[in-house]
Amino acid sequence: MDLQLIAGSAHPVLAAATATALGVPLGACELGRFPDDESRVRLCESARGRDVYILQPTCPPADRHLFELLLIADAARRAGAARITAIVPYLGYARQDRRSAGREPVAARVVANAVSAGGIDRIVVVDVHAPAIEGFFSIPVESLTAMPLLAEAVQTHVDANSVLVAPDLGAAKLAERYARALRPSLPVAIVHKTRISGSEVRVTRVTGDVEHRAPIIVDDMITTGATIEAAVDALLAAGSVPRITVVASHGLFVDNALARLRQLPIQRIIVTDSVPLPETVALAIQRVTIGPLLANAIARLHADESLGDLVQHGVR
By beta-carbon proximity to ligand R5P, the closer residue of 143 and 227 is 227
- Judge contact between 5 and 18, C-beta under 8 A: yes
Q: Residue 271 Cβ, how far from ligand R5P at the closest point, in Å?
A: 12
Q: Residue 175 Cβ, how far from ligand R5P at the closest point, in Å?
A: 12
| 226, 270, 271, 275: residue in contact with ligand R5P (rule CB under 6 A) | 226
Span interacting with ligand R5P, options 14-22, 35-43, 151-159, 223-231, rule CB under 6 A: 223-231
By beta-carbon proximity to ligand R5P, the closer residue of 153 and 165 is 165
CA 225 – CA 182 distance, rounded (Å): 25
| 68, 97, 168, 273: residue in contact with ligand R5P (rule CB under 6 A) | 168
Radius of gyration from C-alpha coordinates of the chain? 20
Span interacting with ligand R5P, options 3-11, 53-61, 168-176, 282-290, rule CB under 6 A: 168-176
| 3-class DSSP string for the chain | CCEEEEECCCCHHHHHHHHHHHCCCECCEEEEECCCCCEEEEECCCCCCCEEEEECCCCCCHHHHHHHHHHHHHHHHHCCCCEEEEEECCCCCCCCCCCCCCCCCCHHHHHHHHHHHCCCCEEEEECCCCHHHHHHCCCCEEEECCHHHHHHHHHCCCCCCEEEEECCHHHHHHHHHHHHHCCCCCCEEEEEEEEEECCEEEEEEEECCCCCCEEEEEEEEECCCHHHHHHHHHHHHCCCCCCEEEEEEEECCCCCHHHHHHCCCEEEEEEECCCCCCCCCCCCEEEECCHHHHHHHHHHHHCCCCCHHHECCCCC
State the binding string over 183-222 for ligand R5P (x if CB under 6 A, else -). Answer: ------------------x-----------------xxxx
Span interacting with ligand R5P, options 9-17, 136-144, 184-192, 225-233, rule CB under 6 A: 225-233
By beta-carbon proximity to ligand R5P, the closer residue of 50 and 250 is 250
- Please tell me the count of residues contacting ligand R5P according to CB under 6 A: 15
Residue of 193, 213, 250, 316 marked active site: 193
By beta-carbon proximity to ligand R5P, the closer residue of 1 and 281 is 281
- Judge contact between 54 and 85, C-beta under 8 A: yes
Answer yes or no: 193 catalytic.
yes
By beta-carbon proximity to ligand R5P, the closer residue of 142 and 219 is 219
By beta-carbon proximity to ligand R5P, the closer residue of 218 and 310 is 218
Q: Residue 252 Cβ, how far from ligand R5P at the closest point, in Å?
A: 8
Q: Residue 298 Cβ, how far from ligand R5P at the closest point, in Å?
A: 27
* Residue 170 in the binding site for ligand R5P (CB under 6 A): yes
CA 79 – CA 125 distance, rounded (Å): 25
Q: Residue 284 Cβ, how far from ligand R5P at the closest point, in Å?
A: 18
The residues that are catalytic are 193
The contact set with ligand R5P (CB under 6 A) reads 95, 167-168, 170-171, 201, 219-227
